[in-house]
Structure 1
Amino acid sequence: MKARSFFRTIQVKLVIIYLLLILVAMQLIGVYFISTVKNSLITSFTNNLKEQADILSKFAATSLAPNMEGEGGSAENTTEDLNLVVRNLFSISGAEVQVLDANATVVATSVQGHQSYIGQKNKSLAVSRALQNIPDNEEEIIDENNTRKKMVALPVTYNDKVVGAVYVVASMTELYETVNRVNQIFFSGTLIALGLTGVLGIVLAHTITSPIQGLTRQAEAVAEGRFDLKAPVLGDDEIGRLSMAFNEMTSRLKEALSANEEENEKLVSVLSNMSDGVVAADERGYIIVWNRRALELLDVETFQGVEMASLLGLSRDKLAEVQAGRARTILINRETAEEEESGADGSLLKVTFTPIHRRDKGITGTIAVLQDVTEQEKLEQSRRQFVANVSHELRTPLTTIKSYAEALEDGALEERELSERFVGVISNETERMIRLVTDLLHLSRLDSNQAPLRRRQTNVHEMLDEVADRFSFQLRQKSIKATVQVDRGLKKAWLDRDQIDQVLDNLISNAIKYTLDGGKIYMTARKTEDDSLLEISVKDTGIGIPKKDLSRIFDRFYRVDKARSRNMGGTGLGLSIAREIVKAHGGTISLHSELNEGTTVTFTLPLLQEGGESA
């Protein structure tokens, strides 16, 4: 392992790179130089053979000419003369020179031991080509002794006629020995150059790697949390500027970490002193952050390694809905052991979920805010119970009052004009109180889930048209134009027609009450983008609602202008009833309003198939 890590160091890599560069350069130079020297020696050797062969051919031309002319008397003298000339004047070390006549017969040879060749024919291809007056006839051959030789054959001409040929075969052993010596010299020079380069490479590499090692030590110190050390700056080159940049980065990182620690302390302080409990879970659902108030509300000692789903008693499907943002708020009951023994009601916690989003990664966690709403829920429950009790207690006397009023209307009193006026007032007040009691009873049934839904397939367009027809008289009285618009793809929906009619009646009634003469009312219905919800909205051009009242507009008995609402016959329960009906259908309702510009109330209902299944 140590040897492997040693060869992975930058210093060794630089030295190896230097050596490889020198080796490649020397090899390229050596190949070119040796090839050039070899070619030069071979060319010089060949030219030397050709020059001597050319000189010999000129001497032999006059000697071979009588043979062409058929002077047989002097042939033997000519052969002896040529042998003498070839042996004495044209002897080449390690070479054999032969003179041949026009019939390729050996006339003379320079080798004493080859005198028996005289009178025999030389059947070499080069000789045949020379006798055909082809001047360039040379080739390298390897004889039976594995000796490389150079062969040259030149024609001998006399009066432009080929009278014979000169054949030269010379050994190239000395030439290749010279080339081998050059190779050895070059190889020795390469080894010396590599040695010197290795030494210089180590020195140069050390000058580069030494500052890098200092930066490495500084980086390791920063990783351990020590920011006081500074990397040495040994020059103004690239590594020196890198060291300065690294020192600057270390200073800024120290400042950033200090600021981050300060912010973390602030966050911890805020979380610790919050009146609400806060827990945060990672993408797997395990709690990673919490505050002291959350421990108190959930009555546990720690959240370390605890899943949020098991802690809050949620199923994995419900937690997935929460993480996807489809269920932002839930209520959970918590009962301690003492409360279970005493039979007292447990605490009610309101949990508000917020998904944690990270860029390019989607949802990476969930934050849950816990609020103790036990007292609030008790007050709300008491108010609901009060409304139910009062409604039941007042219904009988109100019915009696209505009966007496009818008797008065029948002429029971003698003063007809006065009695009719009294009867009218009693009748109006009675009707108003009956409406109030009816609304309270309806709310009570909705709160206690005693008003089951009777869903049936309903034509949405027909339902909205019938609502407009029911209020046509009031619309004409105030010259208000009502418009119904339904998307083409929306035909029918499964819903409780009677209850949704009541929602629409309340919304249209409010719109007519608070829209001035000559105004407009728009009723629209459409599907949401994912085709899972039916969205119905009622928009008017009325007086609008102040922003300060929007947050409480759905509260029971809440009126923006109490005196005016009573004069118009309002009970303050219409929007509350509408909200409860929509909630019973599994939908939501919202209101948007601008003062003196108009109000838009929108509610959504799940699009269900027959049998109550989601569409």
Structure 2
Amino acid sequence: LLEIVRDATLDRVINDAFDHGGPVRSELTLDGSQIELHAVATRNQAGEITGVLVLFHDITELKKIDQVRRDFVANVSHELRTPLSILRGYIETLLDSPETSRKELSRILGVMERHSKRLDLLAQDLLTLAQLESVNPNLQLGNVDLSNLFGEVVRDWEKKLVPKQLSVIVDVPPDLPTVPADRVRLQEALYNLLDNAVKYSPEHGEIRLTARQRDEEIVLSVRDSGIGIGKEDLPRIFERFYRADKARTAENIRGTGLGLAIVKHVAHLHGGHVEAESELGKGTTIRVVLPVRM
């Protein structure tokens, strides 16, 4: 064993087990894998130590999961800290300056309202993500008519399209089959995709909602004419809290950083997947690919 695994940590674990007899635990990296070691001395009938039993446990995946958890907690803390700090700062200002002018007071309350809404959105998205990642996400499956669903979603978003005077084009073939899906979850995914499209589209831009059959799959796509995403960022946009090129994203259009992660989870729960296509300055297309049959 020592000839195969040449590592100082293993030598130390074995020597410690020989010296003290009791169980010894340690970790080492072996060919890129994280290995947990447990060693205990073996004894004969007279109680003399005759050798050492070493147990190797590959904990690589556990380490990755733990790192994801740590990153998630750090990101949530960061996302909460900014609006909370701003709210606390303005509350202190109001307490210290009771004679604040009406104009300044109106400005402060506007900022506080904006950041309180940001906290509310973050809480909602975190709750949604937790439900989607749970052992029992409780999908309510039914046959969803995509033409009807797209029409509903666009009607819900009409007011949000007005400030930028955006136009939405819905393109669904009349003979497209229904898709087996949880209508509420699918609607949630489309809301998140439309939210991104609206935020990053220029004034008088165009957003296109399309559904097509591709072999045994139904492909739902949302395309915008916005700022686009760089090649280096594209593979990571479905990660939680990942934002493409923060320097190019104005603070007032940043979301919670969870929208596309929610979209990905909705697709996966339906046995599907997500795709992304983009080019800087030429817009972005996000696709939700679902099986025709589950």
Task: Select the residue among 58, 74, 96 that pairs with 1:347.
Answer: 58
Q: State the AA in 2 paired with 1:347.
A: D
Normalising by the residue count of structure 2, what TM-score does the alignment of the two structures yield?
A: 0.68
1:465: which partner in 2? 151
Task: Select the residue among 260, 271, 282 that pairs with 1:586.
Answer: 271
2:228: which partner in 1? 544
Structure with higher strand content:
2
1:345 CA displacement: 11
Secondary structure of 2:275's counterpart equals strand
CA distance in 2, matches of 1:485, 1:478: 22
- Counterpart mapping for 1:508-547 below 5 A: 508-529=194-215, 532-547=216-231
1:450–1:534 Cα change, 3 Å: same
1:601 CA displacement: 0.7
Secondary structure of 1:604's counterpart equals strand
1:566–1:451 Cα change, 3 Å: farther
1:492 CA displacement: 2.3
CA distance in 2, matches of 1:423, 1:476: 24
1:386 CA displacement: 5.7
1:569–1:550 Cα change, 3 Å: closer
2:68: which partner in 1? 380
Q: State the AA in 2 paired with 1:590.
A: E
CA contact (8 A) 1:515 1:541 kept: yes
Does structure 1 residue 451 correspond to structure 2 residue 162?
no
1:501: which partner in 2? 187
1:478 CA displacement: 2.2
2:4: which partner in 1? none
Deviations 1:486-533 (Å, cap 9, x if unpaired)? 12322422211222112111111211222222322211112221xx32
CA contact (8 A) 1:384 1:444 kept: no
CA distance in 1, matches of 2:240, 2:176: 33
2:115: which partner in 1? 429
Does structure 1 residue 478 correspond to structure 2 residue 164?
yes
1:560–1:496 Cα change, 3 Å: same
CA distance in 2, matches of 1:498, 1:522: 21
Does structure 1 residue 606 correspond to structure 2 residue 294?
no
- Counterpart mapping for 1:282-361 below 5 A: 346-347=57-58
1:336–1:465 Cα change, 3 Å: farther
Question: Share of identical aligned residues, percent?
Answer: 33
Deviations 1:4-47 (Å, cap 9, x if unpaired)? xxxxxxxxxxxxxxxxxxxxxxxxxxxxxxxxxxxxxxxxxxxx
1:383–1:453 Cα change, 3 Å: farther
1:585–1:603 Cα change, 3 Å: same
1:381–1:414 Cα change, 3 Å: closer
CA distance in 2, matches of 1:335, 1:589: 35
1:460 CA displacement: 0.9
Secondary structure of 2:120's counterpart equals helix
**Larger Rg over CA atoms:** 1
Structure with higher helix content:
1
CA contact (8 A) 1:387 1:440 kept: no
1:480–1:378 Cα change, 3 Å: same
Secondary structure of 1:456's counterpart equals strand
Normalising by the residue count of structure 1, what TM-score does the alignment of the two structures yield?
A: 0.34
CA distance in 1, matches of 2:238, 2:274: 10
Secondary structure of 2:232's counterpart equals helix
Which fold has the larger relative contact order, with Cα–Cα distance below 8 Å and residues 6 or more apart in sequence? 2
1:484 CA displacement: 0.8
CA distance in 2, matches of 1:474, 1:459: 24
CA contact (8 A) 2:223 2:286 kept: yes
CA distance in 1, matches of 2:182, 2:57: 35
Secondary structure of 1:522's counterpart equals strand
CA distance in 1, matches of 2:75, 2:66: 14
2:246: which partner in 1? 562
CA distance in 2, matches of 1:345, 1:484: 57
1:451–1:386 Cα change, 3 Å: farther
Secondary structure of 1:558's counterpart equals coil
1:413–1:493 Cα change, 3 Å: farther
Aligned length: 237
1:567 CA displacement: 1.7
2:12: which partner in 1? none
Deviations 1:129-169 (Å, cap 9, x if unpaired)? xxxxxxxxxxxxxxxxxxxxxxxxxxxxxxxxxxxxxxxxx
- Counterpart mapping for 1:241-320 below 5 A: none
Q: State the AA in 2 paired with 1:431.
A: K
- Give the root-mean-square deviation of aligned CA atoms: 3.6
Deviations 1:260-319 (Å, cap 9, x if unpaired)? xxxxxxxxxxxxxxxxxxxxxxxxxxxxxxxxxxxx77x9xxxxxxxxxxxxxxxxxxxx
